Amino acid sequence: MTRRDHPRDTKITTEDFSKQDTELARLAIAELTKKGVSTECKSCGKNNWNIFAMKIVATSATETFFPAATTMNVPVLSLTCLECGWISMHNLKILGVTK
Ligand SMILES: [Zn+2]
């Protein structure tokens, strides 16, 4: 398994960000393991993943018509299969590892 760092907040160092991101990913993987989630890729059946925690900034489809609405941040654990490129995402709030 490999991971990439994506520092976005200039108030924290790359090292700080890496520690936070690694801890979030570790907690999320522990929860997925506890829940019995398979480690095999649903597309190719192999087990070779790129893992990192991130936030997805989403806008409601209705904002196309009402642009004043606020955006949503969805914290996720992103898993990308390094064999076939399959991407899976798990909501970190549902896993209970972030607010
Ligand atoms: Zn795959």
Measured in Å, residue 15 CA sits from the centre of ligand 1 at 30
Measured in Å, residue 87 CA sits from the centre of ligand 1 at 8
Measured in Å, residue 81 CA sits from the centre of ligand 1 at 5
pLDDT along the chain (99 residues), means of 10: 45 68 89 94 95 80 63 88 95 91
- Compute the mean pLDDT over every residue in the chain, rounded to the nearest whole number: 81
pLDDT digits (tens, 9 = 90+) for 35-57: 999 999 999 999 999 998 888 88
Chain-centroid distance, C-alpha 3: 11
Measured in Å, residue 62 CA sits from the centre of ligand 1 at 34
Q: Tokens 């700080």 map to which residue?
A: 16
Alpha helices for 2-74 (secondary structure H):
14-34
Q: What pLDDT is recorded for position 89?
A: 94
